[in-house]
Amino acid sequence: MPPVRSGRGISDEWGRGRPGCRVTQSVELLLDAASEAAVLAEWDRLAEASLPTERRVDPSPTHRPHVTLWAGAQVAAEVDAALPALVGGLALPLRLGALLVFGPRRGRLVVVRQVVVSAALLALQARVAAACGVEDDSHFAPGRWTPHVTLARRVPVEELGAVVQALGEVDDLETVVGACRRWDGDAKVAWTLAPPGP
């Protein structure tokens, strides 16, 4: 798939990479259409309540709910060339579970949907992280990864209750991941990682 240009950027948040590093590159799983729509509706509920949300006033085509397998400062050209064969052609079942809260950091929280881990998901993330490279203190190092889908960043501690109330009952979402993408925050482009042709 041709790269899609976007103004989306990656900040150094919980689960985004090594603490303190400039994070501009990532490998991400996308949800199926029904689960993506459900998460987008949760973004909308927060926006309608005038609370922090991942929804954007002018969203770009690449600003979508996702699960980050790896994020960091750079990806070597040979790794980019190998990634399609490593992750392409996925049909991986996922279950989005309860709300989780990361933080606080500087008085702010990140509110996310838990992604229930499975052996297949952990194995995929480990392969991607090993290929892209991780430091021992990275959020993507073995035993340190917390899979999630972000609902809201930079939530003031005093607004957490309002966020939970606005979201209401959060039911588990069953999804099948059929796509994995690369995001290049330096070039502001994203592309789908597909399996190599015959």
Per-residue pLDDT tens digits for 139-187: 999 889 999 999 999 999 999 999 999 999 999 999 998 789 999 988 8
How many domains is the chain partitioned into structurally?
1
Beta bridge partner(s), residue 27: 70, 182
What does the alpha-carbon distance between residue 92 and residue 129 come to, in Å, rounded to a whole number?
17
3-state secondary structure of 37: helix
For residue 59, what are the contacts with CB-CB under 8 A and spacing of at least 6?
Answer: none
Tokens of 80: 């980019």
Beta-carbon count within 10 A of 13 CB: 20
- Specify the DSSP element, H or E, that contains 29: strand 25-30
For residue 98, what are the contacts with CB-CB under 8 A and spacing of at least 6?
Answer: 113, 114, 170
With respect to residue 108, please indicate whether it lies within any of the assigned structural domains.
no
Q: What is the pLDDT of residues 37-53, one digit of tens each?
A: 999 999 999 999 999 99
pLDDT of residue 136: 85
Q: Structure pTM?
A: 0.87
Q: Which domain holds residue 58?
A: 7-94+118-145+174-184
With respect to residue 1, please indicate whether it lies within any of the assigned structural domains.
no
Q: Which amino acid is at 161?
A: G
Tokens of 159: 């607004």
With respect to residue 90, please indicate whether it lies within any of the assigned structural domains.
yes
